[in-house]
Amino acid sequence: MQTMKLPPPTLVPYQDPEAILAEMMVDVRARFAAVGIDYDLGDLETDPVKIIFEAAAYRAALLGDEINAAYAGHLIDYASPAGLTELGEFYDRPRRVGESDAEYAAAIKRHIAGRSAGGPAERYAAIAFDASPDVRDVKIYSDPHGIDPAIHVAVLSSATGGHASGALLQQVETALMAQQVTSDRFHVASAVRKTVDVALDIWLTPEASESILDDLAGQLRLWWDAQDLLGLDLNHADIIAAVKSIGAGAISNVRVVAPVGDTEAWPAEALALGEISIHFMGRGR
């Protein structure tokens, strides 16, 4: 899952080296004047005083950048790979073999958010994620009707389609039961509860090759599987946009035949694409 970063935080305000140089030149002229020296060489490129001050001004600006970079490196969103590993060790979440920086940063944040021993939901989510690298996403929720007191855990697998196997669900439940210190009960289930078949009518541009349709279904499935699927609706507009992006410049029109309308997913549900049928309808502009 992706998050938009804010501008990097700073400890030292940005300093324009030209502005620093100008201030230094004003200062040195005042100092010379105070001792009766008429200094008027500051506009010459060969003036030794100006040359020295230029170097000092740029070094001052670079030092500010280095201080800000070092400060930002101690924050999860801006840390280097090595710095991120150090932060993870500090928060008791070592990096897994093969874990990307983005995945590791998200895991550290979950551990920070869920440091309470008996919850909150963020702690249970962190435990579920750590149960297996095959856990792609997790939703912790309670019975919306208030009847079942168990903590519900919806698990989305990293496998194609997102279905969590029985073995994976057992791993998550075992991890939750081993690390929780309250009397909470857990109901762990796969987040994927609905498979949606897709049928498309496609018109190509006059010059496009029909071969582009050969892998269109597979590319569409990859597009969907790459989304942040928990709670994501399957909308006609998104399908059409995705198909046109996949066949950029070759597809003139798309009509979604199935599903009949937009398909809604509730927050702990992930929709999976079932059969994808592509029908070539001709050519258009």
List pLDDT tens digits, range 126-183.
889 989 999 999 998 887 666 667 889 999 998 877 889 999 999 999 998 887 555 6
pLDDT the model gives residue 142: 83
Query: Is 242 part of any domain?
Result: yes
Q: Do 203 and 274 fall into the same domain?
A: yes
3-state helix, strand, coil in the chain (%, to 5): 40, 20, 40
Q: Do 186 and 204 fall into the same domain?
A: no
- Residue ranges making up the domain that contains 152: 116-190
Give the residue carrying structure tokens 């008996």.
118
Query: Is 102 part of any domain?
Result: no
pLDDT the model gives residue 135: 93
Q: Do 184 and 214 fall into the same domain?
A: no
Give the residue carrying structure tokens 């060969």.
46
Tell the burial category of 273 from Cβ atoms under 10 Å away from its Cβ (0-12, 13-18, 19+).
buried
Q: Do 183 and 216 fall into the same domain?
A: no
Query: Is 210 part of any domain?
Result: yes
Q: Do 125 and 48 fall into the same domain?
A: no
pLDDT the model gives residue 40: 75
Q: Do 278 and 199 fall into the same domain?
A: yes
Choosing from 163, 190, 217, the residue where a domain stops is 190
pLDDT the model gives residue 1: 37
Q: Do 177 and 210 fall into the same domain?
A: no
pLDDT the model gives residue 4: 46
List the chain residues with pLDDT less than 70. Answer: 1-6, 42, 113-119, 144-148, 180-183
Query: Is 80 part of any domain?
Result: no
Query: Is 178 part of any domain?
Result: yes
In whole angstroms, give the CA distance from residue 190 to residue 96. Answer: 23
- Number of structural domains found in the chain: 3
Query: Is 67 part of any domain?
Result: yes
Q: Do 200 and 163 fall into the same domain?
A: no
